[in-house]
A and B are shown apart, each in its own frame.
Chain A
């Protein structure tokens, strides 16, 4: 219904309902006259909209990735296939239905309520795309518009099609022309800017052969320029390129260190909640901040099985790690022991590690103890809504919603 009515149509509908309630006794008020007039007006608008169905062709140019919590835009071309000029046009994107399936609804809510259902639907909504006003189109004419949207959460934004809505001659009701146009965009986790991190650790022999060794060098030498990513230090911005391109660009250097770090993400929580999302964001922040030009980064977590993805020269790109993190789900079953074993199995190759945990219980403490005893330098971060009792001084407890403040103290 929200697609069918224009703003004027909605006002007419709201007035119609109010007038209907107010005018229920025709002896008391004349609101029944407003009611019948608006009924007739909306009926005429609906009839006209049904008779005047437009035909359009739509093509969109989507970015491959966008970031949760940030606005995005993309280009879209619309062609009028009809034989008449068309205006009063609006483009509506048909996103994947965010309403939860029955099984999801039942498993997520102990007491099924409308509000709970609504929250689930909101949580499933990856992004929202604005209604876009299209210019008037002559017959066979084409127009390009910029469509804007806002990504709410990480995941895959699936678009099923696009709808061109055309208002009736009174501008109250729309006829819809749907075009099937399936597409998808990866929404990367939101990221925090991390302070300058010096992960301690010695260089270790890596089974990488020539591909990995090609990056090894002794001097701090300028290597390349790349686009600014949130978290990049301001000192590295290449101002000349910034001025030329209008986009922030940073310098990358090549130096002598060649290390392998583990980025361990704890997924063992019962539900996909804010705490888990913050942990994923934190992992993403590390994944894109830790320098993989001259070191390797292993992203480790456990889903249906144990996963380990390595980023670095000759390996995966950091962007790919973010894509992987966009799809990480909480692991409702299984024990923390699986992650424990997976990390220790790779211990020999590692020179340092960042552990992002969701609790500070015995199992997790055991992993940290084992790694510390093996002499591996560690940074351990716990995302928790509650304070951790008797936390060691080196343990960082970050509260969801206040992650950035917590990181500033690192």
Chain B
């Protein structure tokens, strides 16, 4: 390895600190740096390296498949990167412990094995491995300043050591510092830019899979065609008594601000598992006081970390969920702390929903910008004179009869707000328009109402024997306080579901089969994990590794580092102590170095015109005898060489250039 001592070990330990896998990191670090102190080496040919590289590729592929089916993207990609240096460690170790100083590029590229380059290119894996450890450490995603500090220090180390020496060290250090500061500012800016973009882009466009329980940016007011993904995000197995469509609630919001619904004072309260089960194991959680749950819905959901659960209305208990923590807000959003990947839970549906907080004055508020349009429609429908039940029926009828579903979002005319334009002019929109307008109309009629988001499950899949919920089934509706309880009211014309389905591409069935296969495998993997089979994988992988090591090293001659010439530089040779080497070094510093394979006499002849060179002829003769004469120098001659060399050095000091 051509890295400075301990650089690779430091990178591996840095990875360990970021990922928490100290044991793996320490073992890797020790194995990578040990060849500096152990003389034993194996003589490996390109064919052996190719075998190791192929093994790493197969391992990489197997782990990639496993991670994809267990965690899904993008988590699988980050996990794969996180473990990449460990996966390719056999190759790095093969190089470190072999007599080869670099590998043929064909070891890494299949295409080069079939069509070799005209001149083989050799690659030392040390620095690429170093870069890989850093990239892998970044995939651990510990959002603190330690990563950036470690990254800067680890990068500065080899750069400063290998820098061209004609520049003063402070210049390189200054450049590094400037780059580190600029990079720090840049990364802060980049991260904030993404946060700003996420907040600004409507949730629908960002994909319905991720829910922010505090804020829902709607597509109201945006212009263009809504495009939503076919990706299946949920599978729902329901009691036969539960009729479709099943509205799966994720979060509710009570305040409307120009296209964005916000949940005010919706603080989360932690829930304790029933019976105080140990953290992380599957356990039950009680959401409200209903004695007897009446129905059961089982959900299989995919998430990339700390998801908001999709729950049917009036969910009383959640069972079979291995969450670290569960918390709920007054608007009915339930968020869990859970590692990314597939998880399943059973929602027991009860008859009441005492867990949702009672109405507040905010549930009756109407924003000023929309007040006029809402009042106009409320008057037209005569809502003030109707009972709450009649209001619900009238409003629903009003939207069904006079509005149509559209995913095309146009520009509102006449200086109206998009929502007012929807109510008074265009009368076409998607569910967010219907839900928002309904909330405001109900509030105008004195009925407390909230804007609810989640999914509508109504597509039955024969393949899965369950309802499948796609990203495009993300839906918005209304929670209205009627008769002392919150009721779900959906005023979007039922045709919306067919309209969304019509836009599905021809390859959608293929994608569904793929999704089903992924789901089945990850469900199997989860069951295997529950039964403790995961450890078995290691017992499969270990003999495989051992077999590879045996196949590669079998019959290989073990060489010592001396045989490879690596240690040759450290072996003493006669005349090594000659002061003439100091003169040679000084001359090199003065800009007259001796070339490779240039004899000392040739060199002296070449630089004869340089100051001080003429005096070196005699010293060179003494140096040669000291170096090569089997009889060596006499004590007096040796002393002459020393004193004259030192006096020459004193006469020719290093000038600052």
Residues of A within 8 A of B (CB): 7-8, 11, 14-15, 18-19, 22-23, 25-41, 43-45, 48, 80, 84-88, 122, 128, 135-139, 141, 143-145, 150, 152, 166-172
CB-based contact A29/B81 at 8 Å: yes
Among residues 99 to 131 in chain B, which have CB atoms less than 8 Å away from a CB atom of chain A? 118-119, 127-128, 131
Q: Return chain B residues, CB-CB under 8 Å to A171.
A: 159, 162-164
> Closest Cβ of chain A: how far from B416's Cβ, in Å?
37
A-contact 0/1 string along B156-181, CB 8 Å cutoff: 00110011111100011001101110
Q: Return chain A residues, CB-CB under 8 Å to B128.
A: 11
Expressed in whole angstroms, the Cα–Cα distance for A172 and B175 within the complex equals 12
> Closest Cβ of chain A: how far from B177's Cβ, in Å?
10
CB-based contact A34/B591 at 8 Å: no
CB-based contact B187/A36 at 8 Å: yes
CB-based contact B165/A8 at 8 Å: no
Q: Return chain A residues, CB-CB under 8 Å to B570.
A: none
Q: Return chain B residues, CB-CB under 8 Å to A19.
A: 135, 138
CB-based contact B131/A170 at 8 Å: no
Expressed in whole angstroms, the Cα–Cα distance for A8 and B134 within the complex equals 15
Q: Return chain A residues, CB-CB under 8 Å to B182.
A: 36, 40, 43-44
CB-based contact A39/B593 at 8 Å: no
Expressed in whole angstroms, the Cα–Cα distance for A144 and B128 within the complex equals 33
Q: Does B139 contact A (CB under 8 A)?
A: yes
Q: Return chain B residues, CB-CB under 8 Å to A152.
A: 118
Expressed in whole angstroms, the Cα–Cα distance for A30 and B139 within the complex equals 6
What are 19 contact pairs spanning A and B, CB under 8 A?
A11-B128, A14-B131, A15-B134, A26-B194, A28-B74, A31-B135, A32-B190, A34-B134, A34-B151, A37-B151, A38-B183, A39-B186, A41-B155, A44-B179, A86-B166, A169-B164, A170-B176, A171-B159, A171-B164
Interface centre among A37, A38, A145 (most CB of B within 10 A): A37
CB-based contact A136/B165 at 8 Å: yes
Closest-by-CB residue of B relative to A144 is: B595
Partner of B171, one of A11, A137, A169: A169
> Closest Cβ of chain A: how far from B312's Cβ, in Å?
29
CB-based contact B135/A15 at 8 Å: yes
The 4 closest A-B pairs by CB, nearest first: A138-B591, A88-B164, A37-B183, A36-B186
Partner of B131, one of A15, A25, A168: A15
B141-149, B272-280, B544-552 - the one binding chain A:
B141-149
Partner of A150, one of B119, B131, B194: B119
Expressed in whole angstroms, the Cα–Cα distance for A11 and B3 within the complex equals 13
Q: Does B47 contact A (CB under 8 A)?
A: no
> Closest Cβ of chain A: how far from B394's Cβ, in Å?
45
> Closest Cβ of chain A: how far from B306's Cβ, in Å?
11
CB-based contact B179/A87 at 8 Å: no
List 17 additional contacts besides A28-B78, A36-B187, A40-B180; criterion CB under 8 Å: A18-B135, A19-B138, A23-B138, A26-B191, A28-B304, A31-B138, A32-B191, A33-B183, A41-B179, A43-B182, A44-B182, A88-B164, A128-B119, A136-B165, A139-B657, A150-B119, A170-B159
Interface size range of chain B in the complex:
35 or more
Looking at chain B's contact residues, the main secondary structure is: helix
Partner of B159, one of A8, A122, A137: A8
Closest-by-CB residue of B relative to A130 is: B119
Q: Return chain B residues, CB-CB under 8 Å to A11.
A: 127-128, 131
Expressed in whole angstroms, the Cα–Cα distance for A136 and B585 within the complex equals 12
Closest-by-CB residue of B relative to A137 is: B591
Expressed in whole angstroms, the Cα–Cα distance for A8 and B126 within the complex equals 12
Q: Does B590 contact A (CB under 8 A)?
A: yes
Expressed in whole angstroms, the Cα–Cα distance for A68 and B171 within the complex equals 46
Among residues 370 to 400 in chain B, which have CB atoms less than 8 Å away from a CB atom of chain A? none
Q: Return chain B residues, CB-CB under 8 Å to A141.
A: 591-592
> Closest Cβ of chain A: how far from B17's Cβ, in Å?
13
Q: Does B424 contact A (CB under 8 A)?
A: no
Closest-by-CB residue of A relative to B192 is: A26
CB-based contact A33/B148 at 8 Å: yes
CB-based contact B147/A30 at 8 Å: yes
> Closest Cβ of chain A: how far from B163's Cβ, in Å?
5
Q: Does B588 contact A (CB under 8 A)?
A: yes
Q: Return chain B residues, CB-CB under 8 Å to A41.
A: 155, 176, 179, 183
CB-based contact A139/B135 at 8 Å: no
Q: Return chain B residues, CB-CB under 8 Å to A18.
A: 135
Among residues 170 to 217 in chain B, which have CB atoms less than 8 Å away from a CB atom of chain A? 171-172, 175-176, 178-180, 182-184, 186-187, 190-191, 194
> Closest Cβ of chain A: how far from B305's Cβ, in Å?
9
Expressed in whole angstroms, the Cα–Cα distance for A11 and B164 within the complex equals 17
CB-based contact A37/B180 at 8 Å: yes
Q: Does B152 contact A (CB under 8 A)?
A: yes
Q: A122-B118, A171-B164 are in contact. Are A136 and B159 (CB under 8 A)?
A: no
Q: Return chain A residues, CB-CB under 8 Å to B142.
A: 30
Partner of B147, one of A33, A39, A87: A33
Interface centre among B131, B141, B158 (most CB of A within 10 A): B131
Q: Does B501 contact A (CB under 8 A)?
A: no
Closest-by-CB residue of A relative to B143 is: A30
CB-based contact B190/A26 at 8 Å: yes
Q: A30-B143, A37-B187 are in contact. Are A145 and B131 (CB under 8 A)?
A: no
> Closest Cβ of chain A: how far from B302's Cβ, in Å?
15
Interface centre among B75, B78, B147 (most CB of A within 10 A): B78
CB-based contact A37/B152 at 8 Å: yes
Expressed in whole angstroms, the Cα–Cα distance for A150 and B151 within the complex equals 41
Expressed in whole angstroms, the Cα–Cα distance for A169 and B657 within the complex equals 16
CB-based contact A33/B138 at 8 Å: yes
Closest-by-CB residue of B relative to A166 is: B164
> Closest Cβ of chain B: how far from A56's Cβ, in Å?
13
Q: Return chain A residues, CB-CB under 8 Å to B562.
A: none
Q: A34-B138, A37-B179, A139-B657 are in contact. Are A170 and B590 (CB under 8 A)?
A: no
Q: Return chain A residues, CB-CB under 8 Å to B135.
A: 15, 18-19, 22, 31, 34
CB-based contact B139/A31 at 8 Å: yes
Expressed in whole angstroms, the Cα–Cα distance for A58 and B148 within the complex equals 44
Closest-by-CB residue of A relative to B127 is: A11
CB-based contact A39/B183 at 8 Å: yes
Q: Does B77 contact A (CB under 8 A)?
A: yes
Q: A22-B138, A85-B591, A152-B118 are in contact. Are A27 and B194 (CB under 8 A)?
A: yes
Expressed in whole angstroms, the Cα–Cα distance for A32 and B188 within the complex equals 10
Closest-by-CB residue of A relative to B170 is: A169
Q: Return chain A residues, CB-CB under 8 Å to B175.
A: 44-45, 48, 168-170
CB-based contact B166/A88 at 8 Å: yes
CB-based contact A36/B134 at 8 Å: no
CB-based contact B194/A33 at 8 Å: no
Q: Return chain B residues, CB-CB under 8 Å to A35.
A: 187, 190
> Closest Cβ of chain A: how far from B138's Cβ, in Å?
4
CB-based contact B118/A33 at 8 Å: no
Q: Return chain B residues, CB-CB under 8 Å to A48.
A: 171, 175
Partner of B186, one of A40, A44, A86: A40
Closest-by-CB residue of B relative to A54 is: B166
Expressed in whole angstroms, the Cα–Cα distance for A166 and B140 within the complex equals 38
Q: A11-B127, A28-B78, A141-B592 are in contact. Are A37 and B178 (CB under 8 A)?
A: no
> Closest Cβ of chain B: how far from A103's Cβ, in Å?
25
Q: Return chain A residues, CB-CB under 8 Å to B140.
A: 30
Q: Return chain A residues, CB-CB under 8 Å to B165.
A: 87, 136
Expressed in whole angstroms, the Cα–Cα distance for A21 and B591 within the complex equals 45
Among residues 461 to 519 in chain B, which have CB atoms less than 8 Å away from a CB atom of chain A? none
> Closest Cβ of chain A: how far from B228's Cβ, in Å?
19
Q: Return chain B residues, CB-CB under 8 Å to A143.
A: 593, 595
Expressed in whole angstroms, the Cα–Cα distance for A37 and B145 within the complex equals 13
Closest-by-CB residue of B relative to A133 is: B596
> Closest Cβ of chain A: how far from B581's Cβ, in Å?
17
Expressed in whole angstroms, the Cα–Cα distance for A342 and B638 within the complex equals 78
Q: Return chain B residues, CB-CB under 8 Å to A150.
A: 118-119
> Closest Cβ of chain A: how far from B159's Cβ, in Å?
5
Expressed in whole angstroms, the Cα–Cα distance for A54 and B406 within the complex equals 66
> Closest Cβ of chain A: how far from B654's Cβ, in Å?
11
> Closest Cβ of chain A: how far from B7's Cβ, in Å?
13
